[in-house]
Amino acid sequence: MIFIAGPCVIESSQLLDCVAEELVRLNKRMGVDIIFKASFDKANRTSIRSFRGPGMERGLQMLQDVKDKYGLRILTDIHESWQAAPVAKVADILQIPAFLCRQTDLLVAAAKTGKTVNIKKAQFLSGLDMEYPVQKVRDAGNDNVWLTERGNIYGYNNLVVDFRNIPDMMRFTDTVIMDCTHSVQRPGAAGGKTGGNREFIPAMALAAKAFGANGFFFETHPDPDNALSDGPNMIPLTQLGDVIKSLLD
């Protein structure tokens, strides 16, 4: 199984160190290989006043520091085609945000780096629709493509997960990841920012495993209630090990 974990956005070097140290500890204790995730820029925040991160230049330096210091593989997302090449110098996996999963130029630019491309399924698409983003990456010469389920829009300010999307997406790639934290979001439901129900994260992960998911994505933070982005749907760092253990068991 593939595990991906880390804070939603880079807030500080201290936060990255805190999370990375715990991932290293869990890797050694459980014999797993957790990939470190953090965003250098959250370009799709609900409000113009929301914290976005340190930006690409400084953010990549901080992610490289994590890589050098802790030996962790790095996953981060890109929002524009021109970001693919410089980000690929640091990141091992380039992530395509859900709202951008049909952007051809972005997918092709990510593919041409030769790095693994993780495409998050849009909230408005079915699992079967993801055949075409995968095809764009492969036609650009890159077979290293993953797909990630993160729920579908269900009315206003709510998401629901149709777990049939997991086996559907398995038709197009051998790696389908369940985003266990973004799938419990309440988009835009917290007065200019996104809300969420983190108490459902452990069950969401186990349900996804039952449907055949072989990767699991968790945004985590030592103090989610005071996180600068996505706090309501992040799992407390102290609980991450228990959730991963339940999946391994």
How much is the pTM? 0.94
> 99-128: buried (b, 16+ CB within 10 Å) or exposed (e) per residue?
ebbbbeebbbbbbbbebbbbbbbbbebebe
Q: Report the share of the chain in percent with pLDDT over 70.
A: 97
Closest CA to 131 of 188, 95, 172: 172
The SS3 of residue 148 is: strand
pLDDT category, 46, cuts 50, 70, 90? confident
- Residue 239, by phi and psi: left (phi above 0), alpha (psi -120 to 50) or beta? alpha
CA torsion sign, 127 to 129 to 131 to 134?
A: negative
The answer to whether 6 touches 37, Cβ cutoff 8 Å, is yes
Q: Which domains are seen in the chain, by residue range? A: 2-248 (3.20.20.70)
pLDDT category, 223, cuts 50, 70, 90? very high
User: Is pLDDT above 90 for 197?
Assistant: no
- In this prediction, residue 2 carries a pLDDT of 97
Q: How does DSSP classify residue 86? A: H
**Which pLDDT tens digit goes with each residue over 107-124?**
999 999 999 999 999 999
**Which pLDDT tens digit goes with each residue over 141-193?**
999 999 999 999 888 888 899 999 999 999 999 999 999 998 887 776 455 55
